[in-house]
Structure 1
């Protein structure tokens, strides 16, 4: 029986309940919500050098520590707040990552000001339409793409930290810019249908 007819979830998601829930409910769903975009910017940046499972388990800790992922509030965090966050066991206690999250929040707001929304900036690299990939195996799924190279390069110029092309591509996968569910995964069709229906609010 071929890979197309056997419906099984993406193999990376089956290890833990956290992965299963994330895969089945969030991963690959396109969105134009800036709050969600900022949340994943924070989480993906924190992941650098760590497993995504580590970050998923700390997600609620991040939500509480970073003002429910409100970029305006995070952009106003000061050095005293950095010290408080560095002592918080519910997040990754890396000073550089904490400071970069605050800096990234400020640059995030600058992009909102320039483009009307951060999501609009990101979707401009895709002509406002998700890419529907048709991978058969995990070995085919890339770690980076032309778009992730372009976005990460531009964001670096704008001052963003901990958001290289690999982290950027993981972000694109998570937020539905690309549908990287395998063809054998039921979520491939679900996310493809969501992608066809997706119409950003600025259109």
Structure 2
């Protein structure tokens, strides 16, 4: 049986879950340079630590509501009352350490914005020639869990005090925000 010419091929990892497919088709691997979106994915990716990405995608709107529409300035000012509220919020992962780290990471995010002009400039300072990497045109490319670049960024972020943001999560953040395009060679959405 031949494949229809209108049928599109996706990367295998997204499976058949409609939410996963929409994320794959419209966001994953698409280059993003605005700090608001970079902060959103920082919150979501750090929440993912130890969990599946689909678990976080299903709670994305809960995170949006719980964390002030991903407004980094507001999140950075959250206090103990906000922590208590968040730990009761069934729309997010109610992990005390992750909630506390999200607030602290927001504060550190702002410090980086002040130092570099934007979080985007900070991140792309680690990239070769300040540009994203497109692996989707390489037939033989396999998806790594980390790279030397994600190691370097994660190390620097850890030194600055970021939590729940090691090299594997850093690499996933790079994929989510298009710093790395890891769509499969055969993917129609690359």
Describe how 1:16-95 pairs up with structure 2 within 5 A.
16-95=17-96
**Superposed CA offset, 1:41-93 (max 9, x none):** 00000000000000000000000000000111000000111011000000000
Query: Are residues 1:112 and 2:121 paired?
Result: no
Residue in 2 that maps onto 1:171: 173
Query: Are residues 1:102 and 2:103 paired?
Result: yes
Moved over 2 A (4+): 134-138
CA RMSD across the alignment: 1.4
Kindly state the Cα deviation for residue 135 of structure 1 after the two structures are TM-superposed. 4.7
**Structure 1 gap segments, 5+ residues each:** 1-5, 189-203
Kindly state the Cα deviation for residue 125 of structure 1 after the two structures are TM-superposed. 1.0
Kindly state the Cα deviation for residue 128 of structure 1 after the two structures are TM-superposed. 2.5
Distance (Å, rounded) in 2 between the aligned partners of 1:85 and 1:176: 30
Indicate how the Cα distance of structure 1 residues 137 and 58 shifts in structure 2: closer, same or farther if over 3 A, else same. Answer: farther
Distance (Å, rounded) in 2 between the aligned partners of 1:19 and 1:7: 15
Using structure 1 for the length normalisation, give the TM-score. Answer: 0.87
Residue in 1 that maps onto 2:149: 147
Indicate how the Cα distance of structure 1 residues 7 and 90 shifts in structure 2: closer, same or farther if over 3 A, else same. Answer: closer
Using structure 2 for the length normalisation, give the TM-score. Answer: 0.92
**8 Å CA contact retained: 1:8, 1:184:** yes
Paired residue secondary structure (1:37): helix
**Structure 2 gap segments, 5+ residues each:** 1-6
Kindly state the Cα deviation for residue 187 of structure 1 after the two structures are TM-superposed. 1.7
Paired residue secondary structure (1:187): coil
Paired residue secondary structure (2:126): helix
Residue in 1 that maps onto 2:130: 128
